A and B are shown apart, each in its own frame.
Chain A
Amino acid sequence: MTEPSTPPVPYMERTRNYYRAMGYAKDYIWAHYEDAPFTPLAKPLAESRIALITTASQKDRANIDAKGVKHVWAGPTATPPDALYTMNLAWDKESTHTDDRESFLPIETMQALATDGRIAGLTDHFFGVPTAYSQRQTIEEDAPDILARIQAEGADAAVLSPL
């Protein structure tokens, strides 16, 4: 593991202080594990099909229901969308922007790497996963949904790039 060159921004602390300032008494509890599962690549990278996963929503917000709940969604990698909806996510809106979709979801970048022979290619779709307050929703509903979808498309590995 490389050590940080500069102390990283303390996002958990800043988020806690933000919600305390709003007057919420109970802090959000982030997921925490002492270890993590590990699966090595089953075949060489050049023969592997990659699934891309984002936390952004569809541009027309079709993955968000009338109650404002976000759902798992998929978009075609052969004809990628020029833009996605990100305003409901907690990115640094004062320092940057998300007008360049490749800056957070690298579809064309990965396709170029496939052309160079670095990977076999992308799955037919990329996938959107909700950033849910409820960890139960992520663990019991959204993560199994994503797994089933990427397995159905023959993914050998996944690259996840949350905003």
Chain B
Amino acid sequence: MSLVARHLEANGIPTVIIGSARDIVEYCGVPRFVFMDFPLGNPLGEPWKRDMQREVAGLALDTLETADQSMQTIETRFVWPDPDWRGRYNHLDDATRARLKAEGDERRERQASAKTLKQS
């Protein structure tokens, strides 16, 4: 999505990204970014909370209007209600590692046999 914003902006369309993966968006480098420090999935705000979503959308519009240079990040004031969310995404414990290793092996085996089938 960051690459799309860069392409639009380079071709005359001002853009603003509203998102939660701050490291990825800032690493890419985008014109304007409203950072919502929430679990990935609800960049506009908590589900069904229309007032919050409206404020975040309004902040994005403000940023479109007021930013005077690129690579501007604005952070919203909202805090996700469950403080434990930060540790959850792609958390690796021993059981998960074993499951992922098995999934990866299975996927590679499938790809290898598909390749053999193609060559035969």
Chain A residues near B (Cβ < 8 Å): 1-2, 4-6, 8-12, 14-15, 17-18, 21-24, 30-42, 44-45, 48, 50-51, 53, 55, 86, 90-100, 102-106, 109-110, 112-113, 118-119, 129, 131, 135, 138-139, 142-144, 146-147, 150-151, 155-163
Contact = CB atoms under 8 A, between A and B. Distances in A.
Contacts of A93: 41
Contact of A109 (B53, B86, B90): B53
B31 A37 contact: yes
B9 to A, nearest CB: 4
B16 to A, nearest CB: 6
B40 interface: yes
19 contacts: A1-B73, A9-B86, A14-B89, A22-B103, A33-B29, A36-B29, A38-B9, A97-B41, A98-B41, A98-B42, A100-B48, A103-B41, A106-B53, A106-B56, A113-B58, A129-B1, A138-B4, A151-B13, A162-B17
Nearest to A12: B23
A9 B3 contact: no
Nearest to B46: A103
B47 A34 contact: no
B117 to A, nearest CB: 16
A143 B101 contact: no
Nearest to A131: B1
Q: Which of B5, B88, B104 has the most CB of A within 10 A?
A: B5
B73 A143 contact: no
Contacts of B6: 33, 36-37, 143
Contacts of A142: 4
Nearest to A162: B1
A160 B104 contact: no
Interface of B: 1-19, 21-24, 27-31, 35, 37-48, 50, 53-54, 56-58, 60-61, 64-65, 67-75, 80, 82, 85-86, 88-90, 92, 96-97, 100-101, 103-105, 107-108
Given A96-B39, A104-B43, A129-B1, 7 more contacts: A11-B40, A15-B90, A39-B13, A41-B14, A91-B41, A103-B43, A162-B43
Given A23-B101, A30-B27, A104 B64 contact: no
Contacts, number: 250
Contact of B100 (A10, A12, A21, A143): A21
A35 B29 contact: yes
A15 B27 CA distance: 14
B71 A110 contact: no
